[in-house]
Amino acid sequence: MLRLGVNIDHVATVRNARGGAYPDPVRAATVAQAAGADGITAHLREDRRHILDDDIDGLMDALSIPLNFEMAATDEMQAIALRHKPHAVCIVPEKREERTTEGGLEVAREENKLAHFIAPLRDAGCRVSIFIAADPAQIEAANRIGAQVIELHTGAYCDFHAEGRFGERDEELERLREMSTFAHSLGLEVHAGHGLTYDTVKPIAAFPEVVELNIGHFLIGEAIFAGLDPAIREMRRMMDEARA
């Protein structure tokens, strides 16, 4: 079965807008777990704009499904990951000025640094994932540094769809298809995510090499209108339908 990881970052965004304790992202994670999510993703950014350190503590205590801990390749984040030892660690690019993660990690130019960075995480038992664009050079570099998983950035594909640029959307979709096959041929586990909605999820979910989708912002937004549990169940239904 294709796995669904639910990113709960933007529950924390809403909470932090008022500076209080509500809505609680840990509660959102337990609702997602009950709704059939296979894992929870949380990105602890250096600027702590949404998820906070205490949230990671709470998620580690509350969940019986895996936590995918997204983080930048910094000493601070490595230390936090090594303290908690989550099931998975996903290394992502991070810039303070960006609104959201704008692209994949540059692995090919930073191979030596990243290889040394992820080694202790692997030794601690974390599955290491690298969030990258659908580019063969980046996939090959991720494989060389010892990552077990890659997560393909689907943001450009989703943006092209939203903007009605369907020719470019289809080109990007084909690139994602080819690169999922290529990564799988190297022995990498293939995940995908960023910007996926009900309108864009099925073509990605249909790729046989992709074993996990990580979806957050859309589900949290849809939860305003439908509730989090129904939103997740509908996404799961569409993923299963596409995979079947």
Token pair of 216 as six digits: 């957050």
Reduce the DSSP state of residue 239 to 3 states and report it. helix
Q: Which long-range contacts (CB under 8 A, 24 or more apart) does 23-29 make?
A: 24/58, 25/51, 25/55, 25/58, 25/59, 26/55, 26/58, 26/59, 26/62, 28/220, 28/228, 29/59, 29/62, 29/63
Active-site residues, by number, are 43, 70, 194
Taking the C-alpha atoms of residue 67 and residue 88, their distance in angstroms, rounded to an integer, is 6
**CA-CA distances (angstroms) from residue 175 to 164, 182, 194, 197?**
18, 10, 16, 19
Residue 221: left (phi > 0), alpha (psi -120 to 50), or beta?
A: alpha
Token pair of 205 as six digits: 């979910």
Q: Are 50 and 40 in contact (CB under 8 A)?
A: no
Q: Are 154 and 204 in contact (CB under 8 A)?
A: yes
Reduce the DSSP state of residue 98 to 3 states and report it. coil
Q: Which phi and psi angles does 90 have, rounded to 5°?
A: -110, 120
